[in-house]
Amino acid sequence: MNPSYVGAIAAYQEVGYDINELIKQNSGYVNTCALRMSIALLKSGVQFTGRLRIKAGELIGKSFEPGAKLLADQLKRESVFGMPTLLNRENALKYLVDKKGVILFWKIDGYNGGHIDLIESKTSAQVCNSACYFACKEIWFWQLN
């Protein structure tokens, strides 16, 4: 895990939300990967449409997407990053050598949900900001230069 990783409570506080109140509405809010990626993208100047309005902090008035797959669907729009490179568990590790970018792991084995993250190569290994899930049905990758 990245040493700059921010906990879930702090991540939601940054955008003006109480994670415990959100979880009462929908237990899916416990997964914060899309929130974290939304914040990083917005701070980098990437514009997309999210479902929740940011209520506090430097990004107030913008919106974030709390769902990994729904955020990935926004990123694949031509006005954002465009279509991703589609990978699978067999070819992903080899393809990702010496690359850095945004990655979606979709339909993760034993979970059937998704995870979106920043990934970069470190020597011969791939490192995600929080966690990598190569055991999944689909992998979407957008290279960042």
Instruction: Measure the CA–CA gap between 134 and 60, rounded to whole angstroms.
Output: 34
Model pLDDT for residues 98-134, shown as the tens digit of each residue:
899 999 999 999 997 999 999 987 756 778 888 899 9
Is 1 within the bounds of a domain? no
Count of domains for the chain: 1
Is 62 within the bounds of a domain? yes
Give yes or no for a contact between 14 and 56, defined as CB atoms under 8 angstroms apart: yes
Model pLDDT for residues 51-70, shown as the tens digit of each residue:
999 999 999 999 999 999 99
**117: containing domain:** 8-143
Is 87 within the bounds of a domain? yes
Is 44 within the bounds of a domain? yes
Q: Which whole-number Å values give the CA distances from 95 to 24, 109, 115, 121, in the listed order?
A: 40, 21, 19, 11
User: Residue 37 maps to which CATH number?
Assistant: 3.90.1720.80
pLDDT value for 145:
86
Give yes or no for a contact between 108 and 133, defined as CB atoms under 8 angstroms apart: yes
Q: Which two tokens stand for residue 36?
A: 């974290």
Instruction: Measure the CA–CA gap between 50 and 130, rounded to whole angstroms.
Output: 21
